[in-house]
Amino acid sequence: MANTDIDEEQAKVQIGVCEVELVEAECDGIQTRDAEPTLRIARSFLKAGDFEKAFLFAVRARRMAVESRLNKDAPLSRAKR
């Protein structure tokens, strides 16, 4: 079984990568409001010392930002029209 312990440095790096992704998306004119609360939660877990949860929430926020970028040019589905 692989070691899954996340340390503080790994959590900080993932939060930093997410912050860059959000800034890049905003520069491209893409709304990132959905990802921002999740990133705030990641920062809260980092401050609390729960590095694994901080890392996972940062990954989730980053994924949300990436999906926003991918969906920017996607056509609306029938349900969204």
Condensed to tens digits (0 to 9), the pLDDT of residues 24-50 reads 888 888 888 889 999 999 999 999 999
Average pLDDT of the chain is 85
pLDDT at 61 (0 to 100) = 94
What angle do helix axes 51-71 and 8-27 make, rounded to 10 degrees?
20
Q: What is the pTM of this model?
A: 0.80
* For residues 9-23, average pLDDT: 94
Give 78's contacts (C-beta < 8 A, 6+ positions apart). Answer: none
Q: Where are the domains of the chain?
A: 8-72
What angle do helix axes 51-71 and 36-48 make, rounded to 10 degrees?
170
